[in-house]
C-alpha cells in the first residue's frame, strides 16, 4: 500500500546513453536491457543522487488588473517551452566512462584510434570552436546524451534529452573516497524534462570498478620536473547556453565556449628544493605545463591530464601535518606550443566518435 511503502534514495541509479540525433532520446527498451549496449552506461555516485533542477523552467507570476487585490490562479504561468533543465552529479569515474564525461564537457575530440586500446585525445586549444550538434556522426558533431535518473518508483524517472555537460571538475585527494578520482558537474539540457519516464534500465547494468587511485599516479610533473602532489583538481566550464526554439519549444542547438572555455584548477605540492621557486612563475606571469598521469601511455586504463597553467596565486602552508606544502591555483592558457588542456584516454572501448 502507498501509505505504508518506504523507499530508499540508495535505490536510485544514474544512467547515460549516447544519442544519434539532437532531440531524439535513447528510448528503445532493448538498448537499456543489458550493460554497455548501444552506449548505455551506469555511473557510480559518491553518495545520494540529485534530482533534476527545475530552476530553469519558465514561470511568471504577476497580478493583473482583474477586479481584485489578490492573485488569481490565472496570474501564474508555467511552461517548459523555452526552458533549460540541469542535473548536478558527483561520481567516481572509471576507465569505461571517463571518456564520456570528458567529451561531454570539452566537446572537442582530436583523434580516436581504430584498434588496440582505442586511444582518444580531447583538447581545448587555439583551434577549438564548437561542434555542430546537428551532425553527430562526424568530427564536428560533439556528444549528446540521454540522462536517466532511475527512480525507486516505477514510471517516475527523471530523463534529460539531448544533454551535454556544462561544467566538469576532476579532483584527486588521497583523503577523499579512498583516494579515488572524483568527477562532479552538471548535465545541461534545453529540452523539456520527462519527469515520469517509464524506462526500466536492467539491474544487470552495473557500475565499473576500474577506478583511478591517487596513489597510483605514475606521473606528477611541472614543466617536466617530477614533484610530490598531495591533491589536484581541474574544472572545465564551457558556458553552455540554449539557442533558439523549435515548434515544440525545445532548443534548436547549444552555444558553448562563448565568450570562452573557462579552465581553472588548483594543486598542492610538497615544498622543497625543487618547488621553492614556483612563486617566481606566478610573479613573472609565466605559464608551465602540468601533467598528471594514471597508468602508462599506450596501455589500457591510461588517463593523462596535461594543462598549460598560468598561476593565479601562491600560498605557502606552514602548518601541515606532513610538512610544508604549496597550494597553487591556476587557469589554463594556450601558448601555441601547448594546448590549454589535453586529456588522453585509453580504455579499450571503440566509441566510433570520429
pLDDT of residue 201: 82
**Containing H/E element for 282?**
helix 278-284
Task: Spell out the residues 6+ positions from residue 68 whose beta carbon is closer than 8 angstroms to its own.
Answer: none
In this structure, the dihedral spanned by the alpha carbons of residues 28, 30, 36 and 37, taken in order and rounded to 10 degrees, is: -90
pLDDT of residue 37: 46
Distance CA 328, CA 25 (A): 42
Query: Closest Cα to residue 181, out of 98, 105, 302, 270?
Result: 98
Q: Name the grid cell of 274.
A: 625543487
pTM of the predicted model over 0.85: yes
* Cis-peptide into 222, omega within 30 deg: no
Q: How far separated are the first and last CA of the chain, in Å rounded? A: 51
Query: Closest Cα to residue 278, out of 311, 238, 248, 256?
Result: 311
Give the pLDDT of the chain (354 residues) as one tens digit per residue.
Answer: 568 889 999 999 999 998 989 999 988 776 676 655 456 889 999 999 999 999 999 999 999 999 999 999 999 999 999 999 999 999 999 999 999 999 999 999 999 999 999 999 999 999 999 999 887 766 567 999 999 999 998 888 999 999 999 999 999 999 999 999 999 999 999 999 998 887 878 888 888 899 999 999 999 999 999 999 999 999 999 999 999 999 999 999 999 999 999 999 999 999 999 999 999 999 999 999 999 999 987 888 999 999 999 999 999 999 878 899 999 999 999 999 999 999 999 999 888 888
Q: Name the grid cell of 255.
A: 552555444
Task: Spell out the residues 6+ positions from residue 273 whose beta carbon is closer than 8 angstroms to its own.
Answer: none
User: What are all long-range contacts of 72-76, with beta carbons under 8 Å and residues at least 24 apart?
Assistant: none
Task: Spell out the residues 6+ positions from residue 28 whose beta carbon is closer than 8 angstroms to its own.
Answer: 38
Beta strands (DSSP E) in 238-340 are 241-243, 253-255, 262-270, 287-294, 302-311, 315-317, 325-332
Amino acid at each position: 500500500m502507498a501509505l505504508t511503502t518506504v523507499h530508499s534514495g540508495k535505490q536510485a541509479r544514474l544512467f547515460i546513453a549516447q544519442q544519434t540525433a539532437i532531440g531524439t532520446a535513447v528510448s528503445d527498451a532493448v538498448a537499456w536491457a543489458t550493460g554497455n549496449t548501444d552506449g548505455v552506461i551506469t555511473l557510480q555516485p559518491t553518495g545520494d543522487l540529485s534530482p533534476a533542477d527545475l530552476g530553469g523552467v519558465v514561470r511568471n507570476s504577476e497580478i493583473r488588473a482583474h477586479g481584485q487585490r489578490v492573485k488569481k490562479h490565472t496570474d501564474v504561468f508555467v511552461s517548459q517551452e523555452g526552458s533549460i533543465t540541469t542535473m548536478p552529479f558527483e561520481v567516481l569515474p572509471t576507465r569505461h566512462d571517463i571518456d564520456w564525461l570528458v567529451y561531454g564537457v570539452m566537446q572537442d575530440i582530436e583523434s580516436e584510434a581504430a584498434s588496440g586500446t582505442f586511444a582518444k585525445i580531447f583538447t581545448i586549444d587555439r583551434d577549438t570552436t564548437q561542434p555542430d550538434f546537428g551532425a553527430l556522426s562526424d568530427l564536428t558533431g560533439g556528444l549528446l546524451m540521454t540522462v536517466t535518473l532511475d527512480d525507486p518508483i516505477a514510471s517516475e524517472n527523471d530523463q534529460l534529452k539531448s544533454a551535454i555537460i556544462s561544467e566538469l571538475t576532476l579532483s584527486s585527494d588521497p583523503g577523499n573516497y579512498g583516494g579515488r578520482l572524483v568527477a562532479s558537474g552538471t548535465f545541461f539540457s534545453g529540452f523539456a524534462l520527462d519527469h515520469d519516464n517509464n524506462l526500466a534500465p536492467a539491474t544487470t547494468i552495473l557500475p565499473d570498478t576500474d577506478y583511478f587511485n591517487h596513489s597510483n599516479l605514475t606521473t606528477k610533473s611541472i614543466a617536466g620536473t617530477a614533484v610530490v602532489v598531495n591533491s589536484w583538481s581541474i574544472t572545465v566550464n564551457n558556458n553552455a547556453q540554449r539557442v533558439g526554439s523549435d515548434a515544440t519549444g525545445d532548443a534548436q542547438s547549444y552555444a558553448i565556449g562563448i565568450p570562452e572555455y573557462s579552465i581553472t584548477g588548483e594543486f598542492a605540492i610538497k615544498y622543497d628544493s625543487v618547488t621553492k621557486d614556483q612563486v617566481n612563475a606566478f610573479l613573472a606571469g609565466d605559464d608551465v605545463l602540468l601533467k598528471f598521469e594514471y597508468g602508462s601511455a599506450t596501455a589500457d586504463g591510461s588517463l593523462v591530464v596535461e594543462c598549460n597553467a598560468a598561476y593565479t596565486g601562491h600560498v605557502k602552508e606552514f602548518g601541515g601535518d606532513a610538512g610544508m606544502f604549496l597550494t597553487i591555483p591556476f587557469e589554463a592558457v594556450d601558448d601555441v606550443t601547448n594546448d590549454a588542456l589535453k586529456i588522453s584516454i585509453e580504455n579499450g572501448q571503440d566509441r566510433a566518435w570520429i
